[in-house]
Structure 1
Amino acid sequence: MAAAGRWWAVVLAVAVLLWPGRVVANTEGDALYSLRQSLIDTNNVLQSWDSTLVNPCTWFHVTCNSDNSVIRVDLGNAQLSGVLVPQLGQLKNLQYLRLNNNSLVGPIPVALTNISTLQVLDLSSNNLSGPVSSNGSFSLFTPISFNNNPNLCGPVTTKPCPGDPPFSPPPPFNPPSPPTQSTGASGPGAIAGGVAAGAALVFAVPAIAFAMWRRRKPEEHFFDVPAEEDPEVHLGQLKKFSLRELQVATDTFSNKHILGRGGFGKVYKGRLADGSLVAVKRLKEERTPGGELQFQTEVEMISMAVHRNLLRLRGFCMTPTERLLVYPYMANGSVASRLRERQASEPPLKWETRRRIALGSARGLSYLHDHCDPKIIHRDVKAANILLDEEFEAVVGDFGLAKLMDYKDTHVTTAVRGTIGHIAPEYLSTGKSSEKTDVFGYGIMLLELITGQRAFDLARLANDDDVMLLDWVKGLLKEKKVEMLVDPDLQNAYEEIEVENLIQVALLCTQGSPLERPKMSEVVRMLEGDGLAERWDEWQKVEVVRQEAESAPLRNDWIVDSTYNLRAVELSGPR
């Protein structure tokens, strides 16, 4: 009997190991581990990719859905080399694959085209070679997904492969030869013939030109046609809407559907024909030559920024007179509206929710700075631009609408964009923005989360308080009145140590010198409990020295506030 029992135990163990569910669960992990084995990883970016784990959902740079299925692999700028493997085609629920700016070589596996869920693909800036399929999911992608791979070829790359016929240009237009006049033609007859030929030519030229344009149209990724003929065009999974479609959705941009107004234009609530709710941003901008190309480029760049804490661009509309962006509708509005404009029936944001908003928005901004190429500087980080999804997760909106940063660390602009109270002092005084400009705005947004107050509020003058939120907070901290900082709506339902930690992060982010502010990636780590104490101790030592210097004679009292490095006249000028 004992022997029989052991035999059944062995059978049961083998059955468990070979159970189909386990095999399926490990398929995606095996596929990604195959990729790891084919890559040279000098920086140990893939160190966490352990084949002994049940599934890859705990690996860095891999994101899974609630069913533990891989939906995202993000390995851009990871300094990887090697080749891609066909096993990637086994990631049947993959939506996002980013391997740009590495040193990958060899062909692109055709198996990737079989992933029907793939929405975003970025293989640009590698050394990949060979033909690129235009079938399956790849039929939705444009050359931007494969840019800077000089040895790739195929229709989607706009470069024909060796041995293939060149891509056919539209046939040249050869106007018909004018009719030869007979020597015996009468004067009136020649005039009549000339008039008839001229009229025919007037009608023929536009018709032939239109036919040529129609033949070229499939090669274009952006174009304008009359609304009644406007087809659905995709850039990846980005839809081009017709103007009429958005007019119908918003009741011709009715004022009753306005969700908000900002520096870039108005935002309207709309309902599409399929019943889904959207937010339509109607941009206001001066029309300049080449503006269409710039808009197309910005749309492409914004669409490539895909992250849990970034507002996803769903589509766009471009006509000679309109520029519109279409986003998913956020039913819970913005952090600002929840803090200061909530309805009586809406509960205030709980402290735990505010902490998650702080971390989520930091992760979104960190992605814009460190994982987008070129990096995207927001330039107007504030509570009004942090939206809340159905689960009250933070979603950073309005990014990419200011000029995109190039590969340099800073960029000088002719106009300061932003909201008073949120603008970093060096940006206001010089017009020079950088990722540290966003860090300052983020710090002010943290103070909004903690206090519930506006960054700039003249109403505080009634109590002889500072109009700038940062100066008001510093004043109360100097008087050791931390409890007066916290939003009364919380009704003391918060952890004091967590409030103090968040205030510390906010003050580190709003230091006068941009060089002393942390990067957003460092902010994320501090919010996750890594390195805040050390950074705060360093800041306090420097702050003691600074305050001693400021208390020395011959210094003006007004210098000690957050605008100490600005002339007073600069704060009263136009924004």
Structure 2
Amino acid sequence: MKWLPTNTIYGHGISIFSKCFRALFCVVVDWILGQLLVLTGLFFCSYTGDALIALKNSLNASSSQLKDWNPNLVNPCTWSKVICDDNIVTTVTLSNMGFTGTLSPKIEILKMLTTLQLQGNGITGKIPEEYGNLSSLTMLDLENNRLTGEIPSSLGNLKKLTFLVLSQNNLSGRIPDSLSDLQNLVTVQLSSNNLSGKIPESLFQISQYNFTGNNLECGINYAHSCVRGSEGGSSKSKTVMIVGILVPILVILILGGFLLLFLWKSRHRGYRREVFVDVAGEVDRRIEFGQLKRFSWRELQLATDNFSEKNVLGQGGFGKVYKGVLGDNTKVAVKRLTDFESPGGDTAFQREVEMISVAVHRNLLRLIGFCTTPTERLLVYPFMQNLSVASRLREVKPGEPILDWSTRKRVALGTARGLEYLHEHCNPKIIHRDVKAANVLLDEDFDAVVGDFGLAKLVDVRKTDVTTQVRGTMGHIAPEYLSTGKSSEKTDVFGYGIMLLELVTGQRAIDFSRLEEEDDVLLLDHVKKLQRERRLDGIVDCNLDQNYDIHEVEMMIQVALLCTQSSPEDRPAMSEVVRMLEGEGLAERWEEWQHVEVTRRQEYERLHRRFDWGEDSIYNQDAIELSGGR
């Protein structure tokens, strides 16, 4: 046997150990990085909210101000006066609210903030140096406060800054030379302060400036005037500035609109003239309205090929939904509302649209924008490429995959979370009034997105009756809503329970084909019957081909039956539904329900025998009640 030298053996050992160590090190690093990526979103949202809460506290906001700025809600995009883009805070507008505190330096964390407006308050103290770290800021408006101290030189770091408005304060010292480095600056308003010294030469080259009401070196003894594009004070200067910028733009847009209109009409002779009529001043123009875009009628007409029937995605009680493609190739879904009895009501409609737009949740359909004309109301949403749950359950084309059981469970939980948010985290709360599989959409990952929430309120916005027109779909409408016209969050719970049965069975809420085999036209009655007979396999969608967990099916049916109890007081809240779907508290509620249901059945059977009503059970009687008023 040939022995290897000791140093050779030692060298091989070190090499093997080194490779193993490196492999282990890579695994550990990959795991750490993965965890960091998962936590980054939560970390950022949480700290963004903390920064805004710090601003609220430093401004000495009263108990009646910014009440919805709740530190327990991680996502500040749901708060008033805050505008987000893709769940990132971009605009904070707290104008003329009577704040008397100071400015918090902690908002420097809002790196994507583009607009900060705090004008018209009584804010004291200095402008924090940290504001120079708001690298995306394009507008800083602190006019008409009581700010003191010098203008921070750090503001020269705001390379994207376009509007700097610090007029009518008590600022002192020199204008920092660092402002000369701001190449994108269009407007500087520093009038009515206690500033002194020489004005940086480059600031005289921008479009709009006002340095009056200070001890600055300008005027007839120097080469420049202290004001350009404004006269007699900062408020008037801003008005002149805005008019000076907007008038040429509006003229160009109007002329361009007429030109495009002429070209369009020359190519499409035969269209009725009125389809081109728009609200005055809205031709080919988008107006920012909160987080929303305001579309012109013609823009949506072009996007949907004149609302062609070939682009219809669906139709319901609120109108038709059309697939559309905007000018920038963005795919959208355009809902054309039909329930407007008279023209007008723009202000009320816009207020309700804005209310809906602030409901931001991963399981709620995001509203992109809207359009109003004297006779039309349209809403614009993102296009959901996987369409609705109903279409995936009952309109699957050959070769397309069905919704597997794990996806159906995810849809059930996601929908519940979306409804919980509408009921318990929106102020005022939003009641959907038409919860069904057709109104639950699927994004690219087949996650549930609740659509059409708030539409019932939108179309009733001009009505003054206490009770409104009953809205919904046969088989999904709660009995108390049908009989009284009064809806509540428990109305949605009932509809959600029916939707769960749609998920389990793949069937419609009402199916008259069942008359050939039994008396149960309503899906709810059909499932109750099979559940009593312990025939759960006869309940489950045959398209699943036995690929499901029967215990999970039983749990989902139990939740559905708890949600569809005839008395709204007996139904669980959506927050409780979420917990039951996650495995908490279902057994106790189900045992209680069974006891009540057995007692109820025995009482009806006793009455049946007494009055010789035949063999119809309470369940068929419920079916008669639910379908009778429709």
> TM-score normalized by structure 2?
0.60
**Separation in 1, partners of 2:124, 2:475:** 51
Q: Which moved more, 1:519-528 or 1:29-38?
A: 29-38
Return closer, same or farther for 1:394/1:36 CA change in 2, 3 Å cut-off: same
1:505 to 546, 556, 559: 559
**Structure 1 residue 165: Cα displacement:** 8.0
**Separation in 2, partners of 1:243, 1:404:** 19
**Separation in 2, partners of 1:271, 1:325:** 14
**Separation in 2, partners of 1:498, 1:355:** 9
Instruction: Report the counterpart of residue 469 of structure 1 in structure 2.
Output: 523
Q: Residues 19-38 of structure 1 correspond to what in structure 2 (within 5 A)?
A: none
2:346 to 292, 301, 324: 292
Return closer, same or farther for 1:447/1:346 CA change in 2, 3 Å cut-off: same
Residues 1:571 and 2:627 are matched in the alignment: yes
Q: Which moved more, 1:428-437 or 1:314-323?
A: 314-323
**Separation in 1, partners of 2:535, 2:509:** 19
**Separation in 1, partners of 2:335, 2:124:** 40
Instruction: Report the counterpart of residue 618 of structure 2 in structure 1.
Output: 560
> What secondary structure sits across from 1:349 in the alignment?
coil
**Separation in 2, partners of 1:544, 1:482:** 19
Residues 1:460 and 2:514 are matched in the alignment: yes
Once the two structures are superposed, residues 526-563 of structure 1 have per-residue CA deviations (whole angstroms, 9 ceiling, x without a partner) of 11122112221222222222222222234655561175
8 Å Cα contact 1:369/1:376 also seen in 2: yes
8 Å Cα contact 1:28/1:90 also seen in 2: no
Return closer, same or farther for 1:257/1:113 CA change in 2, 3 Å cut-off: farther
> What secondary structure sits across from 1:273 in the alignment?
coil
**Separation in 1, partners of 2:476, 2:319:** 19
Instruction: Report the counterpart of residue 92 of structure 1 in structure 2.
Output: 111
Instruction: Report the counterpart of residue 6 of structure 2 in structure 1.
Output: none
Give unmatched runs, 5+ long, in structure 2.
1-28, 30-35, 58-70, 78-85, 91-100, 115-121, 139-143, 148-157, 164-212, 214-232, 241-246, 252-277
**Structure 1 residue 293: Cα displacement:** 2.0
Residues 1:322 and 2:382 are matched in the alignment: no
**Structure 1 residue 231: Cα displacement:** 2.0
**Separation in 2, partners of 1:398, 1:355:** 21
**Structure 1 residue 321: Cα displacement:** 2.3
Instruction: Report the counterpart of residue 485 of structure 2 in structure 1.
Output: 431
Instruction: Report the counterpart of residue 74 of structure 2 in structure 1.
Output: 61
Return closer, same or farther for 1:496/1:426 CA change in 2, 3 Å cut-off: same
8 Å Cα contact 1:412/1:431 also seen in 2: no
8 Å Cα contact 1:32/1:88 also seen in 2: no
Return closer, same or farther for 1:369/1:509 CA change in 2, 3 Å cut-off: same
**Separation in 1, partners of 2:44, 2:559:** 42
Instruction: Report the counterpart of residue 225 of structure 1 in structure 2.
Output: 280
> What secondary structure sits across from 1:325 in the alignment?
strand
**Separation in 2, partners of 1:248, 1:450:** 40
Instruction: Report the counterpart of residue 101 of structure 1 in structure 2.
Output: none
> What secondary structure sits across from 1:279 in the alignment?
strand
Matched AA of 1:280: V
**Separation in 2, partners of 1:401, 1:317:** 15
> What secondary structure sits across from 1:402 in the alignment?
helix
1:544 to 587, 598, 606: 598
8 Å Cα contact 2:55/2:106 also seen in 1: no
Q: Residues 138-157 of structure 1 correspond to what in structure 2 (within 5 A)?
A: none
8 Å Cα contact 1:374/1:405 also seen in 2: no
Q: Residues 120-139 of structure 1 correspond to what in structure 2 (within 5 A)?
A: none
Matched AA of 1:239: K
8 Å Cα contact 1:444/1:506 also seen in 2: yes
**Separation in 1, partners of 2:538, 2:404:** 17
Return closer, same or farther for 1:30/1:428 CA change in 2, 3 Å cut-off: closer
Instruction: Report the counterpart of residue 332 of structure 1 in structure 2.
Output: 386
Return closer, same or farther for 1:272/1:28 CA change in 2, 3 Å cut-off: closer
Q: Residues 188-227 of structure 1 correspond to what in structure 2 (within 5 A)?
A: 224-225=279-280
Which protein shows a greater Rg?
Answer: 2
Instruction: Report the counterpart of residue 308 of structure 1 in structure 2.
Output: 362
**Separation in 1, partners of 2:522, 2:323:** 32
Instruction: Report the counterpart of residue 396 of structure 1 in structure 2.
Output: 450
Return closer, same or farther for 1:63/1:528 CA change in 2, 3 Å cut-off: farther
Once the two structures are superposed, residues 152-199 of structure 1 have per-residue CA deviations (whole angstroms, 9 ceiling, x without a partner) of xxxxxxxxxxx998889999xxxxxxxxxxxxxxxxxxxxxxxxxxxx
**Structure 1 residue 515: Cα displacement:** 0.3
Return closer, same or farther for 1:341/1:72 CA change in 2, 3 Å cut-off: farther
Return closer, same or farther for 1:170/1:84 CA change in 2, 3 Å cut-off: closer
Residues 1:341 and 2:395 are matched in the alignment: yes
Instruction: Report the counterpart of residue 377 of structure 1 in structure 2.
Output: 431
8 Å Cα contact 1:452/1:487 also seen in 2: yes
Matched AA of 2:279: D
8 Å Cα contact 2:123/2:146 also seen in 1: no
**Separation in 2, partners of 1:337, 1:112:** 52
**Separation in 2, partners of 1:348, 1:324:** 32
Return closer, same or farther for 1:231/1:534 CA change in 2, 3 Å cut-off: same
**Separation in 1, partners of 2:597, 2:161:** 56
Q: Residues 42-53 of structure 1 correspond to what in structure 2 (within 5 A)?
A: none
Return closer, same or farther for 1:474/1:115 CA change in 2, 3 Å cut-off: farther
Aligned residues: 429
**Separation in 1, partners of 2:124, 2:605:** 66
Return closer, same or farther for 1:29/1:484 CA change in 2, 3 Å cut-off: closer
**Structure 1 residue 370: Cα displacement:** 1.1
Once the two structures are superposed, residues 314-334 of structure 1 have per-residue CA deviations (whole angstroms, 9 ceiling, x without a partner) of 111111122111110111010
8 Å Cα contact 1:376/1:405 also seen in 2: no
Superposition RMSD on alpha carbons, in Å?
Answer: 4.5
Matched AA of 2:518: D
Q: Which moved more, 1:512-521 or 1:546-555?
A: 546-555
8 Å Cα contact 2:288/2:294 also seen in 1: yes
Larger RCO (CA under 8 A, 6+ residues apart): 1
Instruction: Report the counterpart of residue 245 of structure 1 in structure 2.
Output: 299
**Separation in 1, partners of 2:534, 2:328:** 56
Once the two structures are superposed, residues 109-129 of structure 1 have per-residue CA deviations (whole angstroms, 9 ceiling, x without a partner) of 9969958599xxxxxxxxxx9
**Structure 1 residue 449: Cα displacement:** 0.1
Residues 1:422 and 2:441 are matched in the alignment: no
Instruction: Report the counterpart of residue 218 of structure 1 in structure 2.
Output: none
Residues 1:483 and 2:537 are matched in the alignment: yes
> What secondary structure sits across from 1:339 in the alignment?
helix
Return closer, same or farther for 1:414/1:62 CA change in 2, 3 Å cut-off: closer
**Separation in 2, partners of 1:106, 1:496:** 63
**Structure 1 residue 138: Cα displacement:** 13
> What secondary structure sits across from 1:466 in the alignment?
coil
> What secondary structure sits across from 2:422 in the alignment?
helix
Instruction: Report the counterpart of residue 570 of structure 2 in structure 1.
Output: 516
8 Å Cα contact 1:446/1:503 also seen in 2: yes
**Separation in 2, partners of 1:294, 1:398:** 18
**Separation in 2, partners of 1:131, 1:444:** 59
Matched AA of 2:470: V
Q: Which moved more, 1:452-461 or 1:108-117?
A: 108-117
**Separation in 2, partners of 1:535, 1:117:** 53
Once the two structures are superposed, residues 33-68 of structure 1 have per-residue CA deviations (whole angstroms, 9 ceiling, x without a partner) of 67778999xxxxxxxx9xxxxxxxxx973599xxxx
8 Å Cα contact 2:339/2:459 also seen in 1: no
Once the two structures are superposed, residues 236-279 of structure 1 have per-residue CA deviations (whole angstroms, 9 ceiling, x without a partner) of 33111111111111111111111111101111111111111111
> TM-score normalized by structure 1?
0.65
